[in-house]
Homo-oligomer: A and B are copies of this chain.
Amino acid sequence: MKLATLRTAEGTTAALAVGTDGYLPLPYPSVGVLLADSVWRTTVEETVQANGSIGSPALAGTIKASDADFAPLLPEAGKVICCGLNYGDHILEMGRNLPEYPTLFAKHADTLTGANDTIEVHGSEKIDWEAELAVVIGSHIFRADETEAQAAIAGYTVANDISMRDWQNRTLQWFQGKTFDATTPVGPVLITADEADGHFVVQGFVNGDLVQSGNTDTLVFGPARLLSYISQFTALRPGDLVLTGTPGGVGMGMTPPRFLQDGDVLTTEIAGIGRLENTIRIMSNGPADASRTPAAIATTKE
């Protein structure tokens, strides 16, 4: 099953991918709210039955994929926790030892943006990409072992942990370069864990050129281990999001370093899940535009 959060004229709605090119709206305002309802699978089945059979091109109420306007997949995520330095092949090629513990930092729900949104950045000149697999939590866990953590995975999605390297490197803590509002695209869909084999190839492209490609089989801390580790100190709940780190090929690591320019198109793709395509706009650092506040971004059409 693939689930999305779509913007509509009435706000956002969770939606189920049906057939090859449509989304059936579900009676939840977002995938996060859906996941918090323990009977969401039954509700999805009932909604499908009420509207026709999956695969029917005539399924009533379906939004055509070409008309879908993707909101951040989890607009109200309570926790967005990210792992750095997690691709073994990249760490080893850099001559470093594999880490004993995952390097973790946080984003906010406000940091997230939609799968095809234009990303406006104010006040940074070193905007870099980090294509990542993201794990969506489906049930409450606290001090869970890896088996419990695995069972708590609702599914997987695509993210790009776009990083303002100038801000990230101003101090020892990366937080400020990782939490510019509405700069981390997440989506377009969640693929449920039961339909994913757990092996993913994560790829990033700038203006169509492949810059990153990594296989999640080389993650030092795989999804279940990462969730178990995090849950030792903080509870995870339905709709929380964990970003699993990025493979080699970021702009900062190039010689000379390469950063995103105004108008660049950043594409992030995981075969079997989906693709993010975001145009970067570099803004003068003028007064805030109220229409671009995170709340407006979460609910309004671009």
Q: Which residues of A does B touch, CB under 8 Å?
A: 78-79, 81, 84, 99-106, 108-111, 122-123, 140, 142-144, 164, 167, 170-176, 179-181, 230, 232-235, 285, 287-288, 293-294
By the criterion CB–CB under 8 Å, are A233 and B99 in contact? no
Q: State in angstroms the CA–CA spacing of A173 and B101 once bound together.
A: 11
By the criterion CB–CB under 8 Å, are A175 and B106 in contact? yes
Beyond A104-B171, A104-B175, A176-B230, 10 extra complex contacts between A and B, CB < 8 Å: A100-B170, A104-B176, A105-B173, A106-B106, A106-B108, A106-B175, A110-B234, A111-B234, A140-B293, A176-B233
When distances are taken between beta carbons in the complex, the residues of chain B under 8 Å from A233 are 123, 164, 167, 176, 179-181
When distances are taken between beta carbons in the complex, the residues of chain B under 8 Å from A122 are 143, 232
When distances are taken between beta carbons in the complex, the residues of chain B under 8 Å from A287 are 143
Contact A143 to B175, CB < 8 A, known contacts A110-B235, A170-B100, A181-B233: no
By the criterion CB–CB under 8 Å, are A235 and B101 in contact? no
Q: State in angstroms the CA–CA spacing of A230 and B110 once bound together.
A: 13
Contact A232 to B123, CB < 8 A, known contacts A106-B106, A176-B104: yes
Tell me how far the C-beta of A178 lies from the nearest C-beta in chain B, rounded to whole angstroms.
9
When distances are taken between beta carbons in the complex, the residues of chain B under 8 Å from A101 are 170-171, 176
CB<8 Å pairs between A and B, sample of 30: A79-B108, A81-B175, A100-B170, A101-B171, A103-B172, A103-B173, A104-B173, A105-B105, A105-B106, A106-B108, A106-B179, A108-B234, A111-B234, A122-B143, A122-B232, A123-B233, A140-B293, A142-B288, A143-B285, A143-B287, A143-B288, A144-B288, A172-B172, A173-B173, A175-B175, A179-B234, A180-B233, A180-B234, A181-B233, A235-B293
Q: State in angstroms the CA–CA spacing of A99 and B230 once bound together.
A: 31
Tell me how far the C-beta of A16 lies from the nearest C-beta in chain B, rounded to whole angstroms.
29
**Which of A123, A171, A233 has most B Cβ within 10 Å?**
A233
By the criterion CB–CB under 8 Å, are B176 and A173 in contact? no
By the criterion CB–CB under 8 Å, are A173 and B234 in contact? no
Neighbour of A293 across the interface among B104, B142, B173, B181, CB < 8 A: B142
When distances are taken between beta carbons in the complex, the residues of chain B under 8 Å from A102 are 171
